[in-house]
Structure 1
Amino acid sequence: MNHQHMHVENPRFYEISAAIGFAGQRRRVYDGLVRLSDVRPGDRVLDVGCGTGYLSGRVARAVGPDGRVEGIDPSTSVVAYANERAAPNATSRVAGAEELPYDDGSFDAVVSCLAAHHIGADYRGRAFAEMYRVLKPGGRLVIADFRPPTGRLSRLAIGAFTRHAAEHVPLLDLALGAGFEIVETGHRWPVLAYVRAVRPR
């Protein structure tokens, strides 16, 4: 599907779906992604496809009161939901990943979880190039999305999040194509694949 974006429009339903899909382990999984990103107190971090702001909230705890988390998402409803519940050092705005409204080298880290499959395939290369652009040299990227389902359990977990078919998004190829240096790839329970990368200095 080559639409520019496939929006999440019902934030409360999404939160219920996420609770089911992660079987009560969402905080643990997301905190693991935060650790992978190596965010530090005082960092400025961008959450691409922030949705309801759950990952932004976990990052906000890690960067502390001297840090800042910015989230972007194309859905006005989820951005409003996220901002109503945001930590004091976090905010979200309506924007697409393929045209980030930030200056070059604005962020110490970029994080993203379960957003890449919502970006139309024709726009993903641009989105990764934009993530590269807004990172400082040496800045870190951690991006996670669905890995291909391998059995009934993983199909059920993915189905809790999305009605459209779980499409494999080639995170590694996209990161390499944008110029990132790959640090690590791997899986996170229950259905995530992730890429850790850096913008070369």
Structure 2
Amino acid sequence: MNLGQLLHGKRDPRAPGAIQHARAYELLSVTAFAGRRRHTFGRLVGLAGVAPGDRVLDVGAGPGYLTALAAEAASPDGSAVGVDPSEPMVGEARRLRGSANCSFEVGRAEALDAPDGTFDVVVSSLAVHHIPEDVRGAAFGEMFRVLRPGGRILLADFRPPRGRLTRHLVGVTAGAGMRDNPVERIAPMLADAGFATVSESRVGAFLHCVRAVKP
């Protein structure tokens, strides 16, 4: 059993990509970024262009670190909502980072519980590879739907290493889903969902970022 399987715990058929061991994931996140988590996720907030007054949605929010930074950038009049399919993860996010303008809800990316055009910005970090492939297109369509015209999206996911040894280590520790994560498909899938001005970049050693705008 690899680390990814341990973090996911018992599979929930209603949310097959959900991570159940929330506190372990939070500890792993702190360790993995080696003191640069705020810097890295702060860059994501900057790339997304979160500004004071914005309404932000974080899809696959996990323990809510990116959500909280987005809420901070949207202050004083804006807000951020984090959505995750894992009830334990949402509970941990509320415990650690819930505030007046930073809230968390249980929900799936392919069935977002929000009216059309609710948000100015949608963000997501290290979550796309957890969305089952058969509903990933629907999830991108939902992100498009809940954004207002002119709204912005930033998706950041794990960029697999290219070296044979490093790929082997990632596969052994995190599983094939991360070792073979097809991040090159994100941009064309966003375009298929209706987004425009799609661009790609890297943040840090292993984050592949895709930015786009809803026309």
TM-score normalised per structure 1: 0.91
Q: Describe the SS at the equivalent of 1:42.
A: coil
Once the two structures are TM-superposed, the CA of residue 148 in structure 1 deviates from its matched residue by: 2.3
The answer to whether the aligner puts 1:175 opposite 2:187 as a matched pair is: no
Contact 1:45–1:109 (CA under 8 A) maintained in structure 2 = yes
Counterpart code for 2:204: W
1:72-87 map, 5 Å: 72-85=83-96, 86-87=98-99
Residue-pair matches, total: 197
The answer to whether the aligner puts 1:59 opposite 2:70 as a matched pair is: yes
Once the two structures are TM-superposed, the CA of residue 5 in structure 1 deviates from its matched residue by: 3.2
Partner of 2:200: 185
1:133-172 map, 5 Å: 133-151=145-163, 152=165, 162-166=174-178, 167-169=181-183, 170-172=185-187
Provide the identity percentage.
44
Mapped partners of 2:169, 2:28: distance in 1 = 11
Distance 1:126 1:165, change over 3 A: closer
Counterpart code for 2:126: L
Name whichever of 22-31 and 54-63 sits farther off: 22-31
Name whichever of 34-43 and 174-183 sits farther off: 174-183
Partner of 1:118: 130
Q: Describe the SS at the equivalent of 1:138.
A: strand
Mapped partners of 1:84, 1:163: distance in 2 = 29
Q: What CA deviation, in whole Å up to 9, does each residue of 1:44-67 have, x standing for no partner?
A: 000000010010011011001311
Distance 1:103 1:155, change over 3 A: farther
In the alignment, structure 2 segments of 5+ residues that lack a partner are 1-12
Q: Which has the higher helix share?
A: 2
Q: What CA deviation, in whole Å up to 9, does each residue of 1:103-161 have, x standing for no partner?
A: 0000000000001000000000000000000000000000010112123557757877x
In the alignment, structure 1 segments of 5+ residues that lack a partner are none
Distance 1:107 1:155, change over 3 A: farther
Mapped partners of 1:197, 1:158: distance in 2 = 30
Mapped partners of 2:193, 2:136: distance in 1 = 10
Mapped partners of 1:75, 1:112: distance in 2 = 15
Once the two structures are TM-superposed, the CA of residue 7 in structure 1 deviates from its matched residue by: 1.1
Question: Bigger relative contact order, structure 1 or 2, given CA contacts below 8 A and separation 6+?
Answer: 1
Mapped partners of 2:33, 2:170: distance in 1 = 7
Mapped partners of 2:120, 2:63: distance in 1 = 22
Query: Which of residues 44, 52, 56 is equivalent to 2:55?
Result: 44
Distance 1:159 1:197, change over 3 A: farther
Mapped partners of 2:195, 2:161: distance in 1 = 27
Distance 1:87 1:125, change over 3 A: same
Partner of 1:15: 26
**Higher radius of gyration, 1 or 2:** 2
TM-score normalised per structure 2: 0.85
Moved over 4 A (4+): 152-160
Contact 1:60–1:87 (CA under 8 A) maintained in structure 2 = no
